[in-house]
Amino acid sequence: MPDQMRAAMFDSYGAPEVLYVTQTERPVPQPGDVLVRVSASSVNGGEVIARQGRLRLVTGRRFPQRVGIDFCGEVSAVGLGVTDLAVGDRVWGAVDERGPRGAAADYVTAPAGNVAIAPASLSPAQAVSLLSGGSTSLVALRDVAGLRPGERLLARGGAGGVGSVGVQIGAMMGAHVTALASAATAAFVRGLGRPR
């Protein structure tokens, strides 16, 4: 009998209540993949609207569907051809977005190119919370926009996953940051750009 693991899934689109945890077969890494024992996984805004069915043209109507894109954990096995990661490495990464999701599980497979050694100074929960928002903000501000000291940055959704990291990166890069936030999150967002 194949090894089993727990995984979060849903059988129909809807509210969070459609999610359930079930036993399923543990994946096996294919050539070029790594198998990671998941310590933490995040929930991204895109996943929420996908679960609600608002992206069904992309996600399809086949069920059950699994959830989770980002993860932090420990390499349990490596597929053929993987040489830069080893069993026992503490890593963070993302599943192949063209393939099935499923990081909200005990184990997940991902292309080795989507996985890197996780920062030792961060807990798994801290590390995984930076993946989507952090990489989106960093690439957008540093690589695409070429943000420079003294420039102005408007961060829409300053309390969100991308916006909150963008506020901090913008401040670290020397920009004058203006963030949009609700009254309930204003104090949180104001504190993001200040040195600790």
Domain extent listing, the chain: 4-117, 124-192
pLDDT band for 44, please (50, 70, 90 cuts): confident
Comparing 6 with 61, which gets the higher pLDDT?
A: 6
List the CATH code of the domain at 124-192: 3.40.50.720
Q: Is pLDDT above 60 for 126? A: yes
**Of 10, 175, 27, 29, whose CA–CA distance to 115 is shortest?**
29
* CA pair distance 65, 79, nearest whole angstrom: 24
Strand 19-25 to strand 90-94: parallel, antiparallel, or no bridges (unpaired)?
unpaired
Q: Is pLDDT above 90 for 155? A: yes
Topology classification of domain 4-117 = Quinone Oxidoreductase; Chain A, domain 1 (3.90.180)
Strand 152-155 to strand 176-179: parallel, antiparallel, or no bridges (unpaired)?
parallel
pLDDT band for 174, please (50, 70, 90 cuts): very high
Amino acid at position 112, single letter: A
Element at 135 (helix H, strand E): helix 124-138
* CA pair distance 100, 174, nearest whole angstrom: 39
**Of 133, 174, 172, 122, whose CA–CA distance to 152 is shortest?**
174
Contact between 6 and 106 (Cβ < 8 Å): yes
pLDDT band for 46, please (50, 70, 90 cuts): confident
